[in-house]
């Protein structure tokens, strides 16, 4: 009696979520590794234009589930398929897509090309290190060595890049928005900031003392008061902080009065120049929602400038 073995078929890649949050991607990879096997795919080279920045990740589980993006959504299923093959063979691989790629049927809409390094996870210690750093709101670096097929924690660089034979990915804490002001504008900014995935801290009236501890280099301070006296205490703390953005509500005339008060208090010209006022990327606005969009666009742009 002869038995025929059924052919082993690879799992079909299926997107598990639409997130591109590095914390969620790394957690997904850690969980998948715990269930069997996982691979971490990283965008390590861009030729021409690209939809994602160097260091963008995808995480792929052995059962075919994946999350993350290394392009605009056009190559991710193919990357997941390559990751599944890498896991089946137990070997890392680097794959090209678009310009200069053997995959003639995959054309990137931007017309360029990308290279994606796929690492089959042996352990998740380095990933846990990154998550621990981000939990403490500290930047982290992760070096991938194609030669050694290994990940190791390193000091974060200014941006993701090749460093000799290793590719270093950089992770920074999510943007925190410290919001002061009991106004309809403040409520609108809080709602939109939360929907954008920012860490929002709304200050209670008169609550100033603990705020100095929560304004770190990845924090934007947004002051939405209609009186200069109401913002004075938190503005002084913000100016002494490492926050990457300080914005304050008010007209150009109001800001001139603000500047005069701060100069009288012996604040340096460079410190005062950190204040974005009138607040927002575009203005003046006439409704709370438009103001909220203007403020958060400005915060997002300032974050890109601070941490390109």
Summarised one tens digit per residue, pLDDT across range 235-293 is 999 999 999 999 999 999 999 999 999 999 999 999 999 999 999 998 777 899 999 99
Higher pLDDT, 204 or 186: 186
Cβ neighbourhood burial of 37 (10 Å; 0-12, 13-18, 19+):
buried
pLDDT of 40-57, one tens digit each? 999 999 988 788 999 999
CA distance 219 to 214: 8
Tell me which residue of 62, 65, 61, 44 sits closest to 53, measured CA to CA.
44
CA distance 183 to 198: 20
Cα 136 to Cα 22, 59, 175, 251, 298: the distances in Å are: 15, 23, 13, 37, 25
Asked if 129 and 66 touch (Cβ cutoff 8 Å), the reply is no
Asked if 125 and 20 touch (Cβ cutoff 8 Å), the reply is no
Asked if 58 and 17 touch (Cβ cutoff 8 Å), the reply is no
Which residues are CB-neighbours of 30 under 8 A, at least 6 positions away?
A: 38, 124, 127, 128, 131
Q: Which two tokens stand for residue 300?
A: 């997002």
Share of residues in the chain with pLDDT > 90 (%): 78
Kindly report whether the global pTM for this prediction surpasses the value 0.85.
Answer: yes
pLDDT of 117-175, one tens digit each? 999 999 999 999 999 999 999 999 999 999 999 999 999 999 999 999 999 999 999 99
């Amino acid at each position: 009696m002869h038995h025929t073995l059924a052919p082993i078929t690879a799992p079909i890649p299926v997107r598990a979520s639409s997130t591109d949050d590095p914390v969620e991607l790394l957690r997904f990879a850690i969980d998948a590794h715990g269930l069997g096997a996982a691979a971490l795919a990283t965008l390590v080279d861009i030729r021409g234009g690209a939809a994602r920045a160097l260091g963008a990740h995808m995480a792929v589980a052995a059962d075919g589930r994946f999350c993350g993006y290394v392009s605009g959504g056009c190559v991710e299923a193919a990357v997941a398929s390559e990751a599944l093959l890498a896991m089946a063979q137990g070997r890392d691989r680097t794959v090209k897509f678009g310009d200069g790629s053997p995959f003639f049927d995959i054309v990137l809409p931007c017309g360029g090309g990308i290279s994606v390094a796929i690492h089959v996870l042996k352990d998740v210690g380095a990933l846990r290190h990154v998550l621990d750093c981000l939990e403490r709101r500290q930047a982290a670096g992760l070096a991938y060595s194609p030669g050694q097929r290994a990940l190791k924690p390193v000091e974060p660089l200014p941006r993701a890049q090749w460093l000799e034979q290793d590719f270093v990915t950089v992770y920074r804490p999510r943007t925190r928005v410290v919001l002061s002001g009991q106004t309809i504008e403040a409520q609108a900014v809080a709602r939109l900031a939360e929907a954008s995935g920012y860490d929002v801290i709304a200050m209670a009236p008169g609550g100033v003392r603990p705020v100095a501890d929560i304004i770190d280099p990845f924090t934007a301070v947004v002051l939405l008061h209609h009186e200069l006296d109401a913002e004075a205490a938190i503005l002084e703390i913000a100016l002494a902080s490492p926050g990457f953005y300080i914005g304050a509500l008010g007209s150009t005339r109001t800001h001139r009065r603000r500047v005069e008060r701060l100069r009288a208090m012996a604040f340096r010209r460079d410190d005062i120049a950190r204040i974005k006022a009138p607040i927002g990327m575009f203005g003046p606005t006439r409704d709370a929602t438009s103001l909220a969009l203007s403020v958060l666009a400005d915060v997002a742009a300032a974050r890109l400038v601070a941490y390109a």
